[in-house]
Amino acid sequence: MGLLFLFGVTLAAGLFFILLDLLRLPYLSTAKAMLNTTRSEKKAARGLEAYLMTWAVKLARLIRMDEYRRHQLKNVLKATGMNMEPEVYQAYALVKSGVILLLAIPAGFIFPLLVPVVVFLGVMVYFKETKKADEKLSAKRASVEKELPRFVANIEQELKASRDVLAIIENYKKNAGEAFASELTMLAADMRSSSYEAALTRFEARLNSPMLSDVVRGLIGVLRGDDSTVYFQMLAHDFKQLELQKLKGEAQKIPPKIRVFSFLMLMCFLFTYLAIIAYEIIKSLGGMF
């Protein structure tokens, strides 16, 4: 039995390496390096992710997208820092869910009741992977929009002394948050290498935020020579009101959480009073007898 087990392991390993050579798949270190270039996070890629990405690159050649969907997805991937083609992104979701669906085959022999669970899990993983870029973009957009009221107030003050849009962006970038500072860095580099208006338009298209569109419209007006001081004063007031509304919305979510603990504290006080009353009653009854 030991020799049969050893023979099976060596045969499987040999067939695996032959298959890798026939399919011309890269080494694991090469696949990890390729995957690390597609992500903006500092977290290194794992071995399984590297193999999945390798298969995704092979499968991406067979995927076809309409031009509008491809252009839209490419903008989303670029805005989130995922440096991969839309076809590779779609193929990675298919490969990852397909690997999970393959587990349904051994599950059918071992425990057939697990097959629907595995299929459901594979479908959920597919939808999760296809929405990952949109979720990252939404989180990044929310982070940027959170800083826009302060950014607009800073522009309003800066316009009183200077109309240099690039200098205003460079000065604010030093005190901005991580996500917004990264976008402003890209914007400043784009403005130096091309026209200011085109760079601002691309900056607006990356995040697709209505609040950011209002800011970009005002900055383009400054570049064209308009007196945009009043515009940014009104915009700062509107953004301040939106910020207060968001804070009120977040504050309204807190009372239901506090209400549970308040009820528990009330019950503790009631039990304390009842225990004291019961003790006094028992004590008085003991004195009578």
| Same domain flag for 153 and 247 | yes
Residue 112 lies in a domain: no
Q: Look at residue 33 in the predicted model and tell me its pLDDT.
A: 56
CB 66 within 8 A of CB 54: no
Do residue 202 and residue 230 come from a single domain?
Answer: yes
R_g over Cα of the chain: 30
3-state helix, strand, coil in the chain (%, to 5): 80, 0, 20
Residue 216 within any structural domain of the chain: yes
* 236 shares its domain with 271: no
Do 152 and 193 lie in a common domain? yes
In a shared domain, residues 220 and 267: no
Same domain, 244 and 174: yes
Co-location of 217 and 280 in the same domain: no
Does residue 159 contact residue 172 with C-beta atoms inside 8 Å? Answer: no
pLDDT by residue, tens only, the chain of 289 residues: 677 767 777 877 777 667 666 666 555 555 555 555 555 554 444 556 777 777 787 888 888 888 888 888 888 888 787 778 888 888 888 888 888 888 888 777 777 777 888 888 888 988 888 888 888 888 888 888 888 888 988 888 888 888 888 888 988 888 888 888 888 888 888 888 888 888 888 888 888 888 888 889 889 988 888 888 888 889 888 888 888 887 777 767 666 656 666 767 777 877 887 788 877 777 776 655 5
Tens digits of residue pLDDT in 193-216: 888 888 888 888 888 888 888 889
Asked whether residue 89 is domain-assigned, the answer is no
Residue 52 counted as domain residue: no
Residue 207 domain-assigned (yes or no) = yes
Burial profile 208-226: b = 16 or more Cβ within 10 angstroms, e = fewer: ebebbebbbebbbebeeee
> Is 182 a domain residue?
yes
Assess whether 209 and 266 both reside in one domain.
no
The pTM (predicted TM-score) of the whole model is: 0.63
- Same domain for 226 and 284, yes or no, is no
Q: What is the pLDDT of residue 34?
A: 54
Is residue 227 located within the same domain as residue 156? Answer: yes
Query: Domain of 284?
Result: 257-288
pLDDT in the model for residue 64: 85
pLDDT value, residue 44: 42
pLDDT tens digits, one per residue of 53-71: 777 878 888 888 888 888 8
Residue in 202, 177, 178 with CA at minimum distance from that of residue 188:
202
**Residue 238 domain flag:** yes
Q: Is residue 166 part of a domain?
A: yes
C-beta of residue 140 within 8 angstroms of C-beta of residue 207? yes
At 36 the pLDDT is 54
Number of domains in the chain: 2
Examine the domain organization and report whether 269 and 214 are in the same domain: no
Same domain for 271 and 242: no
